[in-house]
Amino acid sequence: MNLHEWFHKGVTPDTYIEAMEQHKENLLSIYDQFMVPEEDLSFFNPLRSEQLRAIVITEDWCGDAMLNVPIYLRIAEAGGIETRFLKRDENLELMDQYLTNGKSRSIPKIIVINKNGGEIFNWGPRAPKLQAFIDKSLASLPPNDAGDFKEKQQEMFQFVSKAYRDNKEFHSFVYQDIKKHLLNND
């Protein structure tokens, strides 16, 4: 399938969010908190005439998606980017074309395409400044074979989810990085 066909296979943001079973409240909280800065609206307005579309490969259990998707949706609204969602685990043929570091099925992946279905750019799973935060959090975990590894890993996941939901600076990192990709491909 080409990207145009993948786009049409996807579901709308509303359909995706309605069906969420995990992280829905946090995703909606971030969506409600985050707005594209007023001074940036003039940047996004010209995108409307380009008829850009996007495919978001994701799963609702993913903490990175919980943070990135609502911020991306605000950008999509500002730029008139029609968006469709595909679940990663049900669409591995597409996911495997967008592996992180050539080996990891990390999500979300946002694939922006032009009106003819040609890829403009893809983004994800996280902004570089957030990658540093995750790397530091992972480094604090005990070894995988430690008796308390699972417990400490769960604590870390809860800490990261709360930080993603509440830390406005993290929201800005995501926004600035996606915006930079749009600027570089305009």
Here the CATH number for the domain that contains residue 109 is 3.40.30.10
| Rounded distance between C-alpha atoms, residue 71 and residue 76, angstroms | 9
Residue 146 domain flag: no
The verdict on residue 138 lying in a domain is no
Check: CB of residue 93 under 8 Å from CB of residue 151.
Answer: no
Domain contains 149: no
Q: How far apart are alpha carbons 93 and 1 in whole angstroms?
A: 9
> What is the pTM for the complete model shown?
0.93
- Can you give the pLDDT of all 186 residues of the chain as single tens digits? 899 999 999 999 999 999 999 999 999 999 999 999 999 999 898 888 999 999 999 999 999 999 999 999 999 999 999 999 999 999 999 999 999 988 999 999 999 999 999 999 999 999 999 999 999 999 999 999 999 999 999 999 999 999 999 999 999 999 999 999 987 765
Domain of residue 76 covers 3-127+168-184
Residue type, 49: S
H/E stretch holding 136: helix 128-139
